[in-house]
Amino acid sequence: MTDQLMIPGPVELHPDVQSVLGEPQRGHLDPIFVSRFGASLKALRTVVGSPSAWPFLVSGSGTLALEMAGANFILPGEPVLVVSTGFFGERMAAILTRLGAAVTVLRAEPGGAPTPEEVDSALAARAYKAITITHVDTSTGVRTPLESYAKVAKARGALVIVDAVCSLGAEALEQDKWGLDVVASASQKALGAPPGLAVLTVSQRALEIRKSRKEPPTTMFGDILEWLPIMEGCESGTPRYYATPAVNAISALSVSLAHILAEGMPARVARHKHLAEALRHGLDALGLTYLPKSPALRAHTMSAVYYPAGKGPELVGAIAARGVTVAGGLLADLRQRYFRIGHMANFSASDIISTVAAVELALGATGGVAATSAALRNVKP
Ligand code: PMP
């Protein structure tokens, strides 16, 4: 028996997703693959809530999606405000700095997030071309108030670029309603597929910005205008070659996206919320506390949990010895003080109970599982 994988990505795969990975290899022009690719692009529009956005699936990972967002929409020298709520905000700032952007970082204390008013006053200081926002920072477990940030950014005319690597497919996110120009993500987290894909959905406004550039971005692989005909061709059943797509990862993603649409995004968002809350009822009962400074900032896809007094990183090993794999800390200064539990995509009430049980046993405590089960009584199976 393999251990239960409860890290913040990659996630456990649904058996239907797993079985597509075991198929004989298909070519990139194979009609079944092309129809899966096209269906994935259509499904992504539903997942992000934008019938008009252009989805891109490119071999790579979330970091490539972030880099593509920077390379296509920001010119060297243009000012960008990066809202940083942890490691991945800092990564976005580093990517943009390498691309030559004039980067200003609005930083929160670990576990905090700036208020929308603070974001607004930071934006007021300069005519920023764009703002970047990490929806859920996987290093802190903080979920930012994305809708409110986007509102103030729109009012100031900044392009809104979102790192949704640890949120897309599980947290509420409405690309059109909230005015998000670029949503960057990856296949291996709440989208429920294996690693291997950078995922981008680009608004018409952002696409026009790229089209109106005089010089193309220096990255050829990451240029969305090179990829656009490929995406269009797959959607219309007339595939073309640019660079070999990750055939197996896209096939697997297509199956997971079909499951996501069958569950429905509102139900999926609600499931993640209920199960995250049930997990935290159990952890509360064990006396554990969280890195996010307030309950409203706690993500529904993962939890960043302080080790209790007298415990440290060895707890991760003790939890693993009870059959559940969780992750250690990631923020440089606090790495030794907390651990992280991923809870996204294919997981259920029983996964939450067994995770709390493993933590409870590793701590030699009692009461966590009972509190989680009590919280789960109100959740539909
Ligand atoms: N942003 C966030 C919020 C992430 O969680 C991650 C991955 N943990 C990344 C960006 C980078 O994605 P990848 O590891 O797929 O390159």
Pocket of ligand 1 contains residue 84 by CB under 6 Å:
no
Rounded Cα–Cα distance for residues 45 and 38 (Å): 11
Does the reported pTM lie above 0.75?
Answer: yes
Ligand 1: centre distance to CA 186 (Å): 7
State in Å: Cα 59 to ligand 1 middle.
Answer: 14
User: Strand (E) positions, 127-280?
Assistant: 130-134, 136-137, 142-143, 159-163, 182-186, 197-202
CA distance 165 to 89: 12
63 CB within 6 A, ligand 1: yes
For tokens 């046993």, name the residue. 361
C-alpha span between 364 and 355 (Å, rounded): 14
Ligand 1 geometric centre to CA of 361 (Å):
31
Among residues 331, 339, 111, 75, the alpha carbon closest in space to that of 214 is found at 75
Tokens at 282, concatenated: 């159990």
Cis ω for the linkage preceding 10 (within 30 of 0): yes
What is the β-pairing status of strands 338-342 and 302-306? antiparallel
**Predicted pLDDT of residue 378:** 73
How are beta strands 197-202 and 327-328 bridged, if at all? unpaired
Kindly state if the Cβ of 137 falls inside 6 Å of ligand 1: yes
In angstroms, the CA 324 to CA 311 distance is 18
Buried b (16+ CB within 10 A) or exposed e, 1-37: eeebbbbbbbbbbbeebeebeeeeeeebeeeebbebb
Is any atom of ligand 1 closer than 6 Å to the C-beta of 61?
A: yes
Residue with the smallest CA separation from ligand 1 atom 4 is 165
199: β partners: 57, 185
The preferred substitution site among 7, 58, 63, 331 for testing ligand 1, maximizing ligand atoms within 8 Å of CB, is 63
Q: Whose CA is nearest to atom 2 of ligand 1?
A: 165
Low-confidence ranges of the chain (pLDDT < 70): 1, 379-381
Q: What are phi and psi of 25, to 5 degrees?
A: -60, 135
Q: How far is the CA of 343 from the centre of ligand 1 (A)?
A: 15
**Over 164-187, what HEC string results?**
CCCCCCCCCCCHHHHCCCEEEEEC
Q: Is the CB of 88 under 6 A from ligand 1?
A: yes
- Please give the pLDDT value at position 69: 98
Rounded CA separation 238/231 (Å): 10
**186 pocket-lining for ligand 1 (C-beta < 6 Å):** yes
**What's residue 381's pLDDT?**
60
Q: How many CB atoms lie within 10 A of CB 63?
A: 17
Instruction: Detail the DSSP E strand segments found in the chain.
Output: 4-5, 54-59, 79-84, 102-107, 130-134, 136-137, 142-143, 159-163, 182-186, 197-202, 302-306, 324-325, 327-328, 338-342
Q: What is the pLDDT of residue 250?
A: 98
Q: For residue 88, how far is its CA from the centre of ligand 1 (angstroms)?
A: 7
* Residue 205, helix vs strand vs coil: helix
The strand ranges marked E within 18-78 are 54-59
**Distance in Å, CA 62 to ligand 1 centroid:** 5
Residue 166 CB less than 6 A away from ligand 1: yes
Pocket probe for ligand 1: among 59, 166, 199, the residue whose CB has the most ligand atoms within 8 Å is 166
- How high is the pLDDT of residue 198? 98
Identify the burial level of 208 via C-beta atoms within 10 angstroms of its C-beta, where 0-12 means exposed, 13-18 middle and 19 or more buried: exposed
Ligand 1 nearest atom to the CA of residue 136, by list position: 3
